[in-house]
Amino acid sequence: MFKIGDYVVKPNTGICRIEDIVFMSLVGKEKKQYYVLLPIDDDRAKLYVTTDADRTRLRPVMTTDESREFIKRIADIEAVWVPNDKMREQQYKEAFKTNEPESLVAIIKNLYSRSQIRIAQGKKVTSTDEKYYKQAEKALYSELAFSLGVEMEEIINKVAGLITK
């Protein structure tokens, strides 16, 4: 169980600070314990997640050492290639749900390769690919920057070359 003040990663939201742990009941449901989360990049939002949420719903932000080790492994993480457009989008959604940084790297690598192929063919990058690419980059790079205490630009410069290999 997390404590008040801990930083966690929530899929599709990013890094949040646990502001409080409260008991409450939602309409028609029994009283449960919830984390009160404040996303670090939206000071007006407040989210509630049950304290019994699994790792796919909340996980601790990588430590500085974990981030350094993760960056060293980025070049070895395989891209997930799915040729079918509908299946590929479903694969991206599933990867985000895992709430694991390795899944984000796999998405970024796949989308980078796809965009290079499409550009070489004289085609534009699809809006779906662009959306997931930006979403995966933001999630990954913001966590690495936060845990290493550096600006996102520094992470982008450090990691982009590893992803495009």
Instruction: Give the pLDDT confidence of 94-127 residue by residue, as tens digits.
Output: 888 899 999 999 999 999 988 999 999 999 999 9
Instruction: Give the pLDDT confidence of 58-103 residue by residue, as tens digits.
Output: 999 999 999 999 999 999 999 877 778 778 888 888 888 899 999 9
pTM recorded for the entire structure: 0.88
Cβ atoms of 139 and 59 closer than 8 Å: no
For residue 120, with 0-12 CB atoms within 10 Å meaning exposed, 13-18 middle and 19 or more buried, which class applies?
exposed
